């Protein structure tokens, strides 16, 4: 994320009290988790003699719609489920690419292969969506630009579920526009898989993963390394990731754990401002979580987690053939000294160092569910501590701390907030009628000390065996990010007086669910209040500066149509066409009052059409996807030759085609993939040109391992 060039201070370790409120809370969170686990075992011990009814249809369970899993046909919300088979058939090699194939989801990329991308659900901003990994909230409190910095790769993913529309009463604050749950799981067989990929622009990727079972413990390890020299100046990247997941079966109960780490560095050519294009970013994310699934008449699901994200942002890239420190300045080729305005020779006009940030998130949560003749009732609780250390974001500290892995870096600011949430939900299923009503009660130390209430209700009626009508009403909130609150830079200015965003959402439509055909028709209306946007007033003169403000009110209305057909499920192997899908979304946003031009909001997909076809025979598989996007709004165009903004420029509509062909024989798999098949010129974000045609070729080998299958 673009940050100001902060003044450098000598880096040294704090000799006083270095611990923060966040670190002080951790022992109490661990103690609370221990209490929840003890209570869970106690509850289980009292249930051993009881019978459990209402067994779920496991092959259709969806976890992203309510506090407790529910069979897809009973859902009163729209949840898109993309399983492993569908993922393998897509001409995509990143989680970002797969998400962009889902109806109602808009992924605005700045770099290739998921280096940096902003995810939107039904016109929401990139800060307004919750990201979960196996149900653990890994949303980044610093900025939504880092929301998709995940410690997993596409090869790890078993399923992706997208809850469309506000879901704060289900998941808590920040599920404002929706929620994305990325699901991984150890395989049922013992095997080792190795995959090698090469392609255009010096791309290479090596992935190794293994699943094996030892006794009652299922394990999964994965490692991935990839790099590219980039498709134009300063678009190179280098990344690796490690991930472990374990699942221990204890009778009917399960203990689940996951540990992950990802590191990536990438040239960020003009990512956050075109005025200083030679940007660079290095980010690392680590995650540890532990949870239990306690089955019985009283089901319990306690868990505890820790997520750390650290990044270094270089407004003027450091390195050979780039800028290097020399006599207190950053110099390139002895002729180019890093400064903000050419020809202005003042001390404050020179770049004085990179920006360093470290965020720690610690959380504990539990959900308890009880089934009776009156339905299924769920109670939930979570507590989350969010802390940042930075030389840009937060409030001044009394000391200066050396940045983690930052070399010359330091932290002289920090900020902490804590959130406590309670959930109540009740579900009723009466033959054709389903009802889910719930309430979130939330409190944060960041604003007034009072409690806030966010209710919601979802209704559905099964008109026929395959056709269901539904309606829902939900109220949600979104907390400002640390960047919203504190950022100060040459082009952007934060606002510590920001208030949480609020939205009232209504939705209704029809769902079609047959054995081989699934789809929906949905109309949604979101009434957003106090929405946060980076905007500038028309009367501002001189240098363009965007400031975070609460836009008073924004109405977002839309229509979504989706159809997914599994043709080979009807005619089996006799059909050459395997799957076919069509998705269409149209939206309209209008400000009832505003505070200037918005930088990110109102650049929603005015109209978007997606189609994908998968075919195959014997060992061959072929898929092609088409994507048409007409984005609303304009962006402030920057002329790189004149080094000046030249006025508003509308986004141009475009078509993209991607294709993939593969052949599998035995335990070998060979595939080729082409993204942007016809080499279209397009951009998702103003002034950033995305790659043209990109060709990839890969080979995968799976080796069976001895042991218990």
Query: Using H for helix, E for strand and C for coil, what is the string for 309-371?
Result: EEEEEECCCECCCCEEEECCEEEECCCEECECCCCCCCHHHECCCCEEEEEEEEEEEEEEEEE
The percent of residues in the chain predicted with pLDDT above 90, rounded, is 58
- Which token pair is 318? 């450091």
Comparing 44-53, 137-146, 563-572, the range with the smallest average pLDDT is: 44-53
Which class would CATH give 21-315+354-704?
Answer: mainly beta
Output the pLDDT for position 296: 85
Output the pLDDT for position 481: 94
Do strands 492-493 and 546-566 pair parallel, antiparallel, or not at all (unpaired)? Answer: parallel
Residue 600 has pLDDT above 60, yes or no: no
> What SS3 state is found at 257?
strand
- For 697, phi then psi, to 5°, come to -130, 135
User: Alpha-carbon dihedral of residues 48, 52, 58, 62, nearest 10 degrees?
Assistant: -100
Give Cα separations from 355 to 1, 54, 140 (angstroms).
Answer: 9, 54, 17
- Cα(278)–Cα(640) distance, integer angstroms: 12
Output the pLDDT for position 660: 95
Output the pLDDT for position 535: 76
Angle formed at CA 69 by CA 65 and CA 75, multiple of 5 degrees: 50
Average of per-residue pLDDT across 346-360? 90
- Name 285's bridge partners: 262, 309
- Cα(345)–Cα(327) distance, integer angstroms: 16
Output the pLDDT for position 115: 86
Residue whose C-alpha is closest to residue 136's, from 366, 295, 358: 366
Three-state SS annotation for 175-208: CCCEEEEEEECCCCCCEEEEEEEEEHHHEEEEEE
- For 249, phi then psi, to 5°, come to -90, 125
- For 551, phi then psi, to 5°, come to -70, 130
- For 472, phi then psi, to 5°, come to -150, 155
Residue whose C-alpha is closest to residue 68's, from 170, 163, 162, 136: 170
Output the pLDDT for position 707: 59
**Is the distance from CB of 181 to CB of 64 less than 8 angstroms?**
yes
How many Cβ atoms are within 10 Å of 499's Cβ, its own excluded?
16
Report how many helices (DSSP H) and strands (DSSP E) the chain contains, helices first: 6, 40
- Cα(608)–Cα(540) distance, integer angstroms: 34
Average of per-residue pLDDT across 96-114? 90
**Is the distance from CB of 386 to CB of 398 less than 8 angstroms?**
no
Residue 249 has pLDDT above 90, yes or no: yes
Helix (H) or strand (E) holding 39: helix 21-45
Query: What's the pLDDT band for 67 if we cut at 50, 70, 90?
Result: low
């Amino acid at each position: 994320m673009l940050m100001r060039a902060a003044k450098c201070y000598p880096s040294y370790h704090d000799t006083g009290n270095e611990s923060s409120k966040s670190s002080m809370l951790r022992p109490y969170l661990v103690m609370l988790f221990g209490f929840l686990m003890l209570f869970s075992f106690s509850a289980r011990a009292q249930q051993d003699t009881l019978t459990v009814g209402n067994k779920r249809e496991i092959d259709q369970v969806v976890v992203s719609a309510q506090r407790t899993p529910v069979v897809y046909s009973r859902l009163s919300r729209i949840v898109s489920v993309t399983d492993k088979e569908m993922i393998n058939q897509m001409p995509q090699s990143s989680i970002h690419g797969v998400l962009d194939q889902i109806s109602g989801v808009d992924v605005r990329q700045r770099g290739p292969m998921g280096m940096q991308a902003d995810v939107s659900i039904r016109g929401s901003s990139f800060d307004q969506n919750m990201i979960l990994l196996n149900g653990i909230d890994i949303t980044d409190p610093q900025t939504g630009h880092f929301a998709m910095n995940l410690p997993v790769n596409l090869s790890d993913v078993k399923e992706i579920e997208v809850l469309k529309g506000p879901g704060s009463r289900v998941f808590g604050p920040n599920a404002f526009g929706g929620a994305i749950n990325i699901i991984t799981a150890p395989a049922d067989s013992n095997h080792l898989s190795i995959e090698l990929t090469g392609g255009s622009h010096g791309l290479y990727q090596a992935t190794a993963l293994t699943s094996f079972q030892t006794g009652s413990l299922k394990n999964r390890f994965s490692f991935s390394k990839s790099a590219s020299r980039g498709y134009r100046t300063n678009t190179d990247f280098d990344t690796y990731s490690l991930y472990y997941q374990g699942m221990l079966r204890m009778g009917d109960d399960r203990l689940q754990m996951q540990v992950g780490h990802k590191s990536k560095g990438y040239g960020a050519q003009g990512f956050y401002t075109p005025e200083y294009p030679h940007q660079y970013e290095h980010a690392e994310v680590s995650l540890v979580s532990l949870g239990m699934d306690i089955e019985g008449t009283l089901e319990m699901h306690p868990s505890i987690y820790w997520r750390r994200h650290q990044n270094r942002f270089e407004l003027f890239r450091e390195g050979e053939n780039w800028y290097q420190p020399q006599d207190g300045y950053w110099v390139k080729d002895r002729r180019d000294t890093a400064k903000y305005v050419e020809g202005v020779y003042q001390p404050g006009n020179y770049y004085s160092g990179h920006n360093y940030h470290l965020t720690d998130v610690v959380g504990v949560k539990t959900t308890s569910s009880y089934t009776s003749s009156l339905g299924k009732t769920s109670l939930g609780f979570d507590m989350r501590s969010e802390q940042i250390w930075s030389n840009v974001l937060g409030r001044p500290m009394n000391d200066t701390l050396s940045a983690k892995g930052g070399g010359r870096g330091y932290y002289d600011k920090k900020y902490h907030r804590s959130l406590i949430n309670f959930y109540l939900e009740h579900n009723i299923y009466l033959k054709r009628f389903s009802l889910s009503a719930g309430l979130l009660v939330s409190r944060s130390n960041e604003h007034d000390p009072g409690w806030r209430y966010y209710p919601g209700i979802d209704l559905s009626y099964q008109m026929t065996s395959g056709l269901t009508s539904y309606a829902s009403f939900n109220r949600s909130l979104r907390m400002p990010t640390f960047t919203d609150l504190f950022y100060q830079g040459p082009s952007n200015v934060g606002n510590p007086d920001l208030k949480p965003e609020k939205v009232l959402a209504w939705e209704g439509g029809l769902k079609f669910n047959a054995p081989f055909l699934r789809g929906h028709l949905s109309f949604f209306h979101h009434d957003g209040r106090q929405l946060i946007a980076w905007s500038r007033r028309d009367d501002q003169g001189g240098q363009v500066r965007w400031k975070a403000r609460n836009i008073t009110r924004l109405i977002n209305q839309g229509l979504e149509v989706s159809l997914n057909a599994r043709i080979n499920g009807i005619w089996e192997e006799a059909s050459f066409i395997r799957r076919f899908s069509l998705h269409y979304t149209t939206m309209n946003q209008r400000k009832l009052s505003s505070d200037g031009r918005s930088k990110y909001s109102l650049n929603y997909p005015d109209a978007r059409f997606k189609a994908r076809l998968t075919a195959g025979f014997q060992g061959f598989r072929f898929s092609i996807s088409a994507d048409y996007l007409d984005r609303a709004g304009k962006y402030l165009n920057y002329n790189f030759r004149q080094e000046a903004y030249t006025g508003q420029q509308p986004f141009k509509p475009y078509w993209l085609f991607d294709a993939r062909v593969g052949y599998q024989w035995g335990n070998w798999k060979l595939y080729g993939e082409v993204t942007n098949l016809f080499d279209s010129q397009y951009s998702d974000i103003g002034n950033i040109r995305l790659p043209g045609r990109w060709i990839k070729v890969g080979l995968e080998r799976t080796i069976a391992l001895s042991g218990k299958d």
